[in-house]
Amino acid sequence: MLARLAAKRLLEIRQVFRQPPSQASRSLSTALNYHLDSPDNKPDLPWEFSEANKSKVKEILSYYPSNYKQSAVIPLLDLAQQQHGGWLPVSAMNAVAKVIEVAPIRVYEVATFYSMFNRAKVGKYHLLVCGTTPCMIRGSREIESALLDHLGVKRGEVTKDGLFSVGEMECMGCCVNAPMITVADYSNGSEGYTYNYFEDVTPEKVVEIVEKLRKGEKPPHGTQNPKRIMCGPEGGNTTLLGEPKPPQFRDLDAC
């Protein structure tokens, strides 16, 4: 019985990875913990940091004691992902392992654990919708649906022009501005990489953001509600209007 279940699961995983990278389903989340060779993602493909990024690698390593190079694995993977257009092939992970002098499995463990690392191709603009409870209550499902319908893709797919992909991220840490999305901009490589949050969004607003990005524009990030200043309430504060009083110290000698 267990053998049949395992064989069925392996077949499902193989079917996921046999699809073109732009069409690979993300519904089988555990499939991203496996690697099956594909023409553009196999260990024997050469990969190394660019000359510009090699200096960044040295800078990153300088932050850690020489006997703790492995502590640089996350920033180095992030740099590799930026250089490679937003995703990490296995050969890039092997290159990072070589830099920090660890077995490749130590790098794979990190890359497959953190959702910030993409194991399949993403668009030049990777749109992530916060799906945590505050954003969900405030309409994040409608936000995601608006993006998917407008772009004509499913979650995890890439548009035919290679510009956009949509994913989900858990808690972007600004629940007071829910719902929100973030845009990872890989359109200009690691030199021009940006990662911006767009808060207080609506279905109409996210479509507007997409179209501005398509035109090469840089839409203003932060709150998209003109009635708010950053995380302040609409219309301005209603409490705490004056300067706070300084702390009062008791004279212990007088007690």
- Cα(158)–Cα(86) distance, rounded to whole angstroms? 12
Q: Are 174 and 98 members of one domain?
A: no
Find the distance separating the first CA and the last CA of the chain, reported in whole Å: 77
pLDDT at 8 over 60: yes
Is residue 133 one of the residues assigned to a domain?
Answer: yes
Per-residue pLDDT reduced to its tens digit, 105-147: 999 999 988 888 998 889 999 999 998 999 999 999 999 999 9
Is residue 56 one of the residues assigned to a domain?
Answer: yes
- Cα(75)–Cα(88) distance, rounded to whole angstroms? 13
Q: Are 129 and 104 members of one domain?
A: no
| Domain of residue 46, CATH code | 1.10.10
Range of the domain at 72: 40-113
Q: Are 99 and 134 members of one domain?
A: no
135 marked as binding residue:
yes
How many independent structural domains does the chain possess? 2
pLDDT at 2 over 70: no
Q: Are 72 and 63 in contact (CB under 8 A)?
A: yes
3-state SS, residue 162:
coil
pLDDT at 26 over 80: no
Model pLDDT, residue 40? 84
Is residue 136 one of the residues assigned to a domain?
Answer: yes
Is residue 200 one of the residues assigned to a domain?
Answer: yes
Q: Are 106 and 152 members of one domain?
A: no
Q: Are 218 and 129 members of one domain?
A: yes
Q: Using 50, 70 and 90 to split pLDDT, how confident is the model at 39? A: confident
Model pLDDT, residue 50? 92
- Cα(70)–Cα(57) distance, rounded to whole angstroms? 13
| Domain of residue 159, CATH code | 3.40.30.10
| Pairing assessment for the beta strands 164-169 and 180-185 based on DSSP bridges | unpaired
Report H helices in 84-151: 90-100, 104-113, 133-137, 140-151
The tokens for 143 are: 């936000």
Q: Are 79 and 144 members of one domain?
A: no
Q: Are 48 and 104 members of one domain?
A: yes
Per-residue pLDDT reduced to its tens digit, 207-235: 999 999 999 999 999 999 888 888 888 88
Q: What percent of the chain has pLDDT over 70?
A: 85
Is residue 26 one of the residues assigned to a domain?
Answer: no
pLDDT at 11 over 80: no
- Cα(192)–Cα(189) distance, rounded to whole angstroms? 6
Per-residue pLDDT reduced to its tens digit, 142-183: 999 999 999 999 988 899 999 999 998 888 888 989 999 999
Model pLDDT, residue 200? 93
174 marked as binding residue:
no
231 marked as binding residue:
no
Q: Are 183 and 93 members of one domain?
A: no
Model pLDDT, residue 199? 95
The one-letter amino acid at 2: L
| Pairing assessment for the beta strands 125-130 and 180-185 based on DSSP bridges | antiparallel
255 marked as binding residue:
no
